Structure 1
Amino acid sequence: MTDRPIADYAVIGDTCTTALIARDGSLDWLCWPRHDGPAVFLALLDRDAGGTCRLVLDGLTGTERRYRPGTNILETILTTRTGRVTLIDFMPIARHEPVPEEGPDGHPEGRVVRRLVCESGTVSGHWRVRPTFDYARAATEATGQADGSILFRGGGDAMQAAASIPLTVGEGAAEGGFALSDGERVDLVLAHGAEGAAGLDRVEAWLSATEDYWCEWSGRCTYRGPYHETVLRSALTLKLLTHAPSGGIVAAATMGLPEAVPGNRNYDYRYVWMRDASFTVTAFVNLGYDREAAEFLRFMRDADPSRGRHLQLMYALGGPMPEETLLDHLRGWRGTRPVRLGNAASDQRQFDIYGELLVALHHYLEAVAFDPPVKVNDHLPEVLAHLAGHIMDVRHEPDHGIWELRGPMRQILHTKAMLWVGLDCAVQIARSDSSHRLAAPDQIARWEREAESIRAEYHAEGWNADLGAYTMDYGSTDLDAAVLRAVLFRAFDGHSPRVAATLDRVGEQLGAGDLLYRYRLDDGLEGQEATFTACAFWRVGCLAIAGRQDEATALFERLVARGNDLGLFAEEIDAETGEQRGNVPQGFTHMAIINHAVRLAQTQDTERSPADT
């Protein structure tokens, strides 16, 4: 069976984990109990070995789908030769009343609910549930229970399936057939764990509570610009990538989806990248979701008790990062191997993360008028001192850079620019406190001097006069789309002739129509990776800053149209085919959509637009 296009997938979730559902209703990806937990359904990566929860309809002729407005409740309309049904998929969550100052804002049930309602005619078919525990490395045992539910066990994990139709047990699987007439329905509930009932009798209450939760959350979005639905869908997607128990924000819902076909650029993105999570914080703040930003600071307080002294590039949602291993038993999407579990980049030196966290912190503090909760405010002096101190300590050191290059380290221009940005944010945070509690005047003055020195250095060393552009690293001829991002953070003057020339050179050498490659150098990996979608949105921001508003708006609209039918984006886009590539949904991309929609709305003062990527 041919693997489905990545764009075929929709996402649902409960702020603990997510599930991916294909256009025909096949649930092909689910990690339980959290985003970076072992997958129990992973047909996404191997349609033969990986488990799935499939809906099979007799005589299927067409599908269309949507999310219920303002929610992450998915509705798929399926037409057969004899009738039409609506499939409603969601993961139940109810809002806490009242919402606590810290911690989850809702109560997830640890369930996937699948309701099939016949809208007209008659429809027949069957459900097939086949989990494969621990990334299909453990055998699955299925047994029927006295209440008619099925209990699946494997690899020390368990899952229940209950339906409003009889389910029969096969080898490691369960099936149930149905024949529905107009107005009839069948419910299927999947529950993590072996304890308690699956909750088939609570479907109606769960659906109502879940819709209320998401509508209330969506209703607090402060963006009122022309791209409201696009922005809100991206915001809802980012909310799905949060992990409410810890406050963490993962980079993407999946692992192993390739950036190049063929190639070996297949990575695990289900972790908290300091950079990606910090980007997401700025997007949340730009839309008025200050609490989500504060929750990430809670995650950092718990994950890094050193308060910035020992900042890591990435974190698991709990416990240590797993070692990068290869799941050789999995074929990979469209046969693109290897499927990697864990991420070896966790050991890299990427010094821009100090600047990234300071940007997120500054943006959040501005949003709350520099009056944060006590648990944030109490540690600010230490956090500022540690992060700014790191920047000054490493400013002359090479690193691997934003793209996680696995070759020799370089004096990368983007890194140097973000070090300046970080110190500049530290100064602004410290100066917000007239009592000098956050930093002494001489300390602030030192940060300012160091920032000025860093800025002068990368302006001089990063410019290649022969090429007529700022390049990836000092003395290099390699172009890097990340330089555009530095412009968005005001590390360069967006109106300067050198920036304009760099934008032209990047478009010429890295461009593929509206799309952009990150770079074109030999990075030692196999295959030609696709264009990096966020980079194309950075070009939107640079055009807006340069006063080319009409060009920026037109480009933004063309890029947004490249999402799937639900407005979801993976990490990359194949320039030749237009297909989505890489892990999905990708927070990096959706954050860029939000921030650039906000930027375009601020036509009066683009130089002071929000922190962006």
Structure 2
Amino acid sequence: MTDKPIADYAVIGDTCTTALIARDGSLDWLCWPRHDGPAVFLALLDRERGGTCRLALDGLTGVTRRYLPGTNILETTFVTATGRAVLTDFMPLHPHEAVPEEGPDGHAQGRVVRRLACIAGRVSGHWFLRPTFDYARAPTEAVAASETQLRFHGGGDAIRAACAVPLTLREGAAEGGFALTSGARADLVIAHGAKHHGAESEDDAAGEGLTAEVDASLAATRAYWEAWSDRCTYEGPYRESVLRSALTLKLLTHGPSGGIVAAATAGLPEAVPGNRNYDYRYVWMRDASFTVTAFVNLGYDREAAEFLRFLREADTSRGRDLHLMYALKGPVPQEETLDHLRGWRGVAPVRIGNAAADQDQYDIYGEFLVALHGYLEAVDYDPPVKVNDHLPEALGHLTNHILRARHAPDHGLWEMRTEKRQSLHTKAMLWVGLDRAVQIARADPKHRLADAATIATWERAAAEIRDEYHTRGWNPSRGAYTMAYGSDDLDAAVLRAALFDAFDPHDPRVAATLERVGAELGAGDLVYRYRIDDGLEGDEATFTACAFWRVGCLALAGRNAEAAALFERLLARGNDLGLFAEEIDAQTGEQRGNLPQGFTHMAVINHAVRLAAARDGQTRTDEPDCRADAETVPA
């Protein structure tokens, strides 16, 4: 059985976890009860050993799919030799009567609903359901509660299934055949846990009861997502792409904690062949901060406040330090390999946990201060009390960390598992952090975040850091700013530093660097992060966010038409639903790495906003005060 292309997958979710569903209707990835929980469906990484929930239709001739507008509800239309059927996949997320000040803004039901309806002629086929617990390391036991209801147990976990047609058990798997005429249904509901804990229960539902429950849950979930989408303030020319990226980022949030994970999956390779397979289901400080910026750019201030809640509750040191990476609950697990899994297209090892949690990456202080500055501006420096009460202490601790780290080597943005270096991008982001801290302190209407002497200290240190990286980061023999002090290696991260004003895009040396990066790291419209030996196997694909950073640099340089044309070509690189993984293979155009990747989708949002600002004759940085709405974007 051939592994499907990564671009074949769509994502659904309930802001607790996500599921990946292929174009053919196969549910091949789902971790419960959280994004970083153990997978119960993982055919994505091993089609023989990994669990799946598969739909097989007889005489299939064609497939089309879409998301229902403004939602994360997936609708797949199957055409067969005898009729048509529509499969509607969603994870129920019902609106609250009143959204609380903090906490989840919707009620997740802990279920996957698969609504299958024949809409023309007649269709026949079968459901196949086989969960595998604890990444397929635990044996699966199955029990039939009735002919349409099953229980699966393994590894201390359990799921339940209810179907509109009878299910037959066989060796830990279930199969249910159907023959439908127009208007008939064969719905399937999969729920987490041995017992139902939500407001509704499929336990006693069958036939018309299950149909009614599915329809009611679909209506409620659609209402939640449409209301959420209506809050998006962007009304520019790329609204569909921007909103899809925003909806995808929302799926990567975790409502109970406020955390934001980097991607929905683990183990999808960045190089084929190679061993660059990592687990991205954790909260990277950098990625989450950049996602906060994207959210605030679109008017989603509550999501930003929720991430601040996550940090407040996750940080037992009361703001004295930021971790590079967090788990949604407890410590980040130690990295381990799942040697029993063959990996996508046989590219092993499959890793869970992430050893990068132990790295030093000091740019995260600048990343977070950018996000904090943007959020405070968006709420006119009047955040919720629980945020406001910690601001003076937090600002002081963050800037003190920058001052202590300014001369220290680190592992850098790309998390290479090599020795530490004096990374140019890190130094630039330390300057950015101090610059934003000064702006926050000066803008505070009560003037209580820092006194004049402290602000002067920050300004002086910022100037010294900027002078240093401009001097030591420039490599005359390469005619470019390079990856680290004294290095000959080019690094696309300089594009990103320019977006935060750490470099002047009109400076001849910066322009020369951008040209050199394009010449040596570019692959047409795409861009590699770097082209050096990093100690890993295989040649990784191009890094998609880097290509979007080039769009921003072109816009900053006033090359707006060129920037917009490149942006539109890059958007066309996503899959048919507008989803992006982390990387794109320059030779084949295939998606590579974990999917969907937040870092890519936040770049889509922020650069659509940047282009809107450029069309309006404004020069702005990657910050939330550059929100675009109908009044600021010319017709």
Q: Which category of TM-score, normalised to the shorter sequence, fits these structures? A: over 0.9
Distance in 1 between residues matched to 2:355 and 2:392, nearest whole Å: 32
1:607 aligned counterpart, secondary structure: coil
Structure 1 gap segments, 5+ residues each:
none
User: How far 1:605 moved relative to its partner?
Assistant: 4.7
After TM superposition, the structure 1 = structure 2 runs for residues 21-420 of structure 1, keeping only pairs within 5 Å, are 21-146=21-146, 148-196=148-196, 197-198=201-202, 200=205, 201=210, 202-420=213-431
Which residue number corresponds to residue 610 of structure 1? 622
Alpha-carbon offset, residue 475 of structure 1: 1.2
Does the residue aligned with 1:212 lie in a helix, a strand or coil?
helix
Deviations 1:331-361 (A, max 9, x none): 0000000000100000000000011111110
Aligned 8 A contact 1:12 1:18 in 2: yes
1:302-334 CA distances to partner (integer Å, 9 max, x unpaired)?
011324312110000001110000000000000
C-alpha separation in 1, matches of 2:101 and 2:379: 14
1:198-227, CA deviations, whole angstroms, 9 ceiling, x for partnerless residues?
Answer: 365321110000000000000010001000
Whether the 8 Å contact between 1:75 and 1:86 is mirrored in structure 2 is: yes
Please tell me the residue identity of whatever aligns with 2:572.
A
Contact in 2 for aligned 1:560/1:567 (Cα 8 Å): yes
- For residues 456 and 348 of structure 1, the distance between their equivalents in structure 2, rounded to whole angstroms, comes to 26
Q: Secondary structure at the match of 2:178?
A: strand
CA distance in 2: counterparts of 1:66 and 1:608, whole angstroms: 34
1:65–1:321 CA distance, 2 compared to 1 (3 A) = same
Q: How does 1:480-559 map to 2 (within 5 A)?
A: 480-559=491-570
Q: Distance in 1 between matches of 2:60 and 2:147?
A: 32
Q: CA separation in 2, counterparts of 1:82 and 1:224?
A: 42
Superposed CA deviations along residues 389-421 of structure 1, whole A, max 9, x for unmatched, are 000001000000000010011000000000000
Once the two structures are TM-superposed, the CA of residue 606 in structure 1 deviates from its matched residue by 4.5
Give the Cα separation in 1 of the matches to 2:621 and 2:349: 41
1:209 is paired with a residue of what secondary structure? helix
> Shift of residue 436 of structure 1?
3.0
Q: 2:430 corresponds to which letter in structure 1? A: L
Partner-residue secondary structure (3-state), 1:417: helix
Does the 8 Å CA contact 2:105/2:255 hold for their aligned counterparts? yes
| Matched residue type, 1:292 | E
CA drift of 1:37 comes to 0.2
Distance in 1, Cα, partners of 2:179 & 2:105: 39
C-alpha distance in 2 between matches for 1:610 and 1:390: 23
Q: Distance in 1 between matches of 2:130 and 2:372?
A: 44
Shift of 1:610: 3.5
Amino acid at match of 1:279: F
CA shift, 1:571, in A, is 0.2
Q: Is the 8 A contact 1:545 1:606 kept in 2?
A: no
Q: Mean Cα displacement is larger for which, 523-532 or 423-432? A: 423-432
**One-letter amino acid of the counterpart of residue 623, structure 2:** A
Question: Within 1, Cα distance between the matches of 2:618 and 2:290?
Answer: 19
Q: Tell me, yes or no, if the aligned pair for 1:324 and 1:341 is still in contact at 8 Å.
A: yes
2:613·2:619 contact (CA, 8 Å) conserved in 1? no
Q: Provide the C-alpha distance between the structure 1 equivalents of 2:50 and 2:243, rounded to a whole number of angstroms.
A: 32
Distance 1:302 1:444 in 2: 28
Aligned 8 A contact 1:121 1:181 in 2: yes
SS of corresponding position for 1:242: coil
Superposed displacement of residue 608, structure 1: 2.1
Contact 2:265 2:281 in 1 (8 A): yes
| 1:255 maps to amino acid | A
SS at match of 1:214: helix
In structure 1, how many angstroms separate the alpha carbons of the residues matched to 2:443 and 2:623? 18
Higher mean alpha-carbon deviation, 545-554 vs 426-435, is at 426-435
For 1:599, the aligned partner's letter is: R
- 1:566 match: secondary structure: coil
Note the C-alpha offset of 1:556. 0.2
| C-alpha contact 1:62 1:78 (8 A) present in aligned 2 | yes
Given residue 463 of structure 1, which amino acid in structure 2 is its aligned partner?
A: W
Q: Paired residue for 2:629?
A: none
Aligned mates of 1:214, 1:135 — CA distance in 2: 30
